[in-house]
A and B are shown apart, each in its own frame.
Chain A
Amino acid sequence: MIVAVEKITVPMRQQPAEERIKNFNEVPLGYNEQEALKEASRCMQCVKKPCVEGCPVRIDIPLFIKALREKDFQKAIDVIHDSDSLPCITGRVCPQEEQCQAVCVVKKMGEPISIGRLERFLADNDLENRKNKKAVTPDRSTRKNIKVAIVGSGPAGLTCAAELAKKGYDAVVFEGYHKLGGVLVYGIPEFRLPKAIVENEIDLLKDLGVKFVNNALIGRALTIEDLFKEGYQAIFVGAGAGLPNFMGIPGENLSGVYSANEFLTRVNLMKAYKFPEYDTPVKRGEYVAVIGGGNVAMDSARTALRLGAKHVYLIYRRSEKEMPAREEEVIRAREEGIDFRLLTNPLKYIGDEKGVVKQVECQKMELGEPDASGRRSPVPVKGSEFIIDVDEVIVAIGNTPNPIISRTTPGLKTKKRGEIEADEDGLTSIPGVFAGGDVVTGAATVITAMGAGRKSAAAIEKYLSEKK
């Protein structure tokens, strides 16, 4: 049987570049029902379902698309919720082009199904419906009355907590910050992931019975040992990112040189873009250099632009091909006018007498042999040094795993860079303590952290049932 497949995906409407650089509102606007149905009709409903294998949390993608086509939106979102507790978020920030969509059968004939956009449509639709409905209180009779502590309210912790709550455990999430969501609120900007959406998704977890405690940094006021003493039967550590990496070049501590973590935290979590209505300030540079080529670098560059920068340079030592950022984010950054300085590496930052950054000295690079990451490693071009005038620098070259738990938990084994040692299921060197997400892998994606949280929830259930 020959099936005619529409080769081109239904495009998603978005704010035009010249408008969006003046606001912090979301850039892609999402599908409406008509667009979603049209896109869903492109799916071949193939038997092989490679997309499910491509999904880190194994959503039954063809099944939800089938329900969507039949306009059974409730069934469609239920299918997604079976595997993914935060679809509004993953529909927006998952790198689908490297996961489910990369292996889509339709890709052999044209553009793959825009699975992420369909997921987002269903999740947003569901969220909107729920606003008008009363929350269903979880059935207390199925509760196991077993307490499990979750350290950190980022994607790993939220997923683990949701899965455990669904299974009847009393999941209590401890968060150091005053707001819930971890990297979803401090790291990813409003224009890519609106904070109201994160809040709404977390409210759904509260409806599931998950409890949250803010201002509770495990490792300081309470330790892992204290949690066990307080009757928690198992602990999941999803503490996330830690201290930012710097290159170790001169001038990195000048005023006006930020780590991306600090810059984004000030703007996203502390709402410094609304200063002085909000109390936290941030420098609004006119000529800004962002160092790095990942999603965080793109987020930083685009944020600087929205804060009013006249010119934003993105300095990356390899070529565009090696950039770890999502392709669509690179495209949007280019559309917005970010000046990509590829095969370029900073050598030092030069400040004025007040210690404020004024210039960055760079060097041209060329690509040599592949390194450990498999990417061609950049080699300096002799005599190619040049200067760029700047008044703000944002260093976005990754971070180490959060160090607090590992420094304050005797017996917890860690790896060279401070990553907590954990097996496939997240089990650490301490019985009953599981870990997942960036604190185990180092900086990765929201969805891999969610995958880890989900795996650990299953492992915790197994551990607790065997322990009895």
Chain B
Amino acid sequence: MFKILDKYILGPKMHYVLMEAPLIAKKAKAGQFVIVRVREQGERVPLTIADFDAKIGTITLVFQEAGKTTHLLAGMNKGDCLLDLLGPQGNPTEIINYGNAVVIGGGIGVAPIYPLARALKEKGNKVTSIIGYRSKDHIFWEDKMKAVSDRLIIATNDGSYGKKGFVTDMFKELAQGGEKVNIVFAIGPAVMMRAVAEMTRPLGIKTVVSLNSLMVCGMGMCGACRVEVGGKTRFTCMDGPDFDAHQVDFDLLMKRLDTYKNEECTCQK
């Protein structure tokens, strides 16, 4: 069984879960995910690993209530056990010394951005973190992000905290300042990642996104997670989840993400 060691609310419909998972913690790297199943009738859902500690054998999951499983997970407490936990899945993010790296996280996407920023910093990159939230209530991990960033820019859509605007506005400002950026990593909703990609494309800045496609097996068998990158079909669980943002067909990704919209409503009733 996979025990929940700690759990609390991070913000509106946003939760923090600390899991006992020594094997996963030992191997986990930035960019990887786990597959969870919460009950016998449950589905297999991918969640990004937001933090891991090999020494004490824990991994951290941060999620937003969206479908049935995350809803059920939100109702679980410290001491409860997940039925299944598989990982670490997917390829780790390629971490080298790029020079000047910008990481962009949107909403719940800030969680996986954290271990990425930390790993980049450890490799000697100059790390600028741009994190965006809907409003002040939604902000989490500001301190953690500050600790692993050379520079931290916080934005809220409504201006209730930090700067007012979207993460793309913040990046635009930065780019217009004439700063040479070597690489951009963006994790968040598909629309946000697409907006970042469109912004960095004309600037010729290499941009990596972590795709949140549909998934069932999460281990290179079923093909539910297929996406199109550079006109070719790729599988998020085996070939990703990181892909070259300028090659990703975001329109297709978003349409495929909507496949079970009606069923999601039925299931939550």
Task: Check if B84 sits within 8 Å of A215, measured CB to CB.
Answer: yes
Task: Report Cα–Cα, A214/B26, bound state, in Å.
Answer: 18
Task: Evaluate whether A253 and B228 lie within 8 angstroms (CB atoms) in the complex, with A220-B27, A279-B69, A279-B267 already known.
Answer: yes
Task: Check if B83 sits within 8 Å of A178, measured CB to CB.
Answer: yes
Task: Check if B252 sits within 8 Å of A253, measured CB to CB.
Answer: yes
Partner of B85 from A215, A283, A354 at Cβ < 8 Å: A215
Within 89-128 of B, Cβ neighbours of A (below 8 Å) are at 89
Task: Evaluate whether A246 and B233 lie within 8 angstroms (CB atoms) in the complex, with A255-B255, A261-B221, A279-B41 already known.
Answer: yes
User: Which residues of the partner chain B approach A215 to less than 8 Å between Cβ atoms?
Assistant: 84-86
Task: Check if B217 sits within 8 Å of A265, measured CB to CB.
Answer: yes
Task: Report Cα–Cα, A255/B252, bound state, in Å.
Answer: 9
Closest A residue to B257 using CB positions? A255
- A276 at interface, CB cutoff 8 A: yes
Within 167-207 of B, Cβ neighbours of A (below 8 Å) are at none
Task: Check if B220 sits within 8 Å of A277, measured CB to CB.
Answer: no
Task: Check if A243 sits within 8 Å of B221, measured CB to CB.
Answer: yes
Q: How far is the CB of B269 from chain A (nearest CB, A)?
A: 8
Task: Check if A404 sits within 8 Å of B41, measured CB to CB.
Answer: no
Closest B residue to A183 using CB positions? B221
Task: Evaluate whether A355 and B255 lie within 8 angstroms (CB atoms) in the complex, with A259-B222, A265-B221, A281-B260 already known.
Answer: yes
Task: Check if B41 sits within 8 Å of A354, measured CB to CB.
Answer: no
Task: Check if A217 sits within 8 Å of B228, measured CB to CB.
Answer: no
User: Which residues of the partner chain B approach A176 to less than 8 Å between Cβ atoms?
Assistant: 86, 217, 219
Task: Report Cα–Cα, A214/B37, bound state, in Å.
Answer: 13
**B residues whose Cβ falls under 8 Å from a Cβ of A:** 23-24, 26-27, 37, 39, 41-44, 68-69, 83-89, 216-217, 219-224, 226-228, 233, 235, 238, 251-252, 255-256, 258-260, 263-264, 266-267, 269
Task: Check if B222 sits within 8 Å of A261, measured CB to CB.
Answer: yes
Closest B residue to A217 using CB positions? B219
Number of interface residues, chain A, beta carbon within 8 A: 48
Task: Check if B27 sits within 8 Å of A275, measured CB to CB.
Answer: no
Task: Evaluate whether A221 and B221 lie within 8 angstroms (CB atoms) in the complex, with A253-B228, A355-B256 already known.
Answer: no
Q: How far is the CB of A444 from chain B (nearest CB, A)?
A: 16
Task: Check if B41 sits within 8 Å of A256, measured CB to CB.
Answer: no
List 7 A–B pairs whose Cβ atoms lie within 8 Å, in order of A's numbering.
Answer: A220-B27, A222-B23, A243-B221, A259-B224, A278-B41, A354-B255, A403-B220
Task: Check if B41 sits within 8 Å of A271, measured CB to CB.
Answer: yes
Task: Evaluate whether A253 and B256 lie within 8 angstroms (CB atoms) in the complex, with A176-B219, A215-B84, A266-B216 already known.
Answer: yes
* Sample of 11 further A-B pairs with CB below 8 A, known A279-B41, A280-B216: A186-B217, A220-B88, A220-B219, A221-B88, A240-B221, A246-B223, A265-B216, A276-B269, A280-B43, A354-B255, A355-B251
Partner of A262 from B223, B233, B238 at Cβ < 8 Å: B223
Closest A residue to B232 using CB positions? A248
User: Which residues of the partner chain A approach B259 to less than 8 Å between Cβ atoms?
Assistant: 255-256, 283, 356
Task: Report Cα–Cα, A176/B59, bound state, in Å.
Answer: 19
Task: Report Cα–Cα, A262/B222, bound state, in Å.
Answer: 4
Task: Check if B266 sits within 8 Å of A276, measured CB to CB.
Answer: yes
Q: How far is the CB of B198 from chain A (nearest CB, A)?
A: 20
User: Which residues of the partner chain A approach B219 to less than 8 Å between Cβ atoms?
Assistant: 176-177, 217, 220, 402, 404
Task: Report Cα–Cα, A253/B69, bound state, in Å.
Answer: 25
Q: How far is the CB of A133 from chain B (nearest CB, A)?
A: 28
Task: Report Cα–Cα, A89/B266, bound state, in Å.
Answer: 36
Task: Check if B24 sits within 8 Å of A221, measured CB to CB.
Answer: yes
User: Which residues of the partner chain B approach A278 to less than 8 Å between Cβ atoms?
Assistant: 41-43
Q: How far is the CB of A413 from chain B (nearest CB, A)?
A: 19
Task: Check if A354 sits within 8 Å of B258, measured CB to CB.
Answer: yes
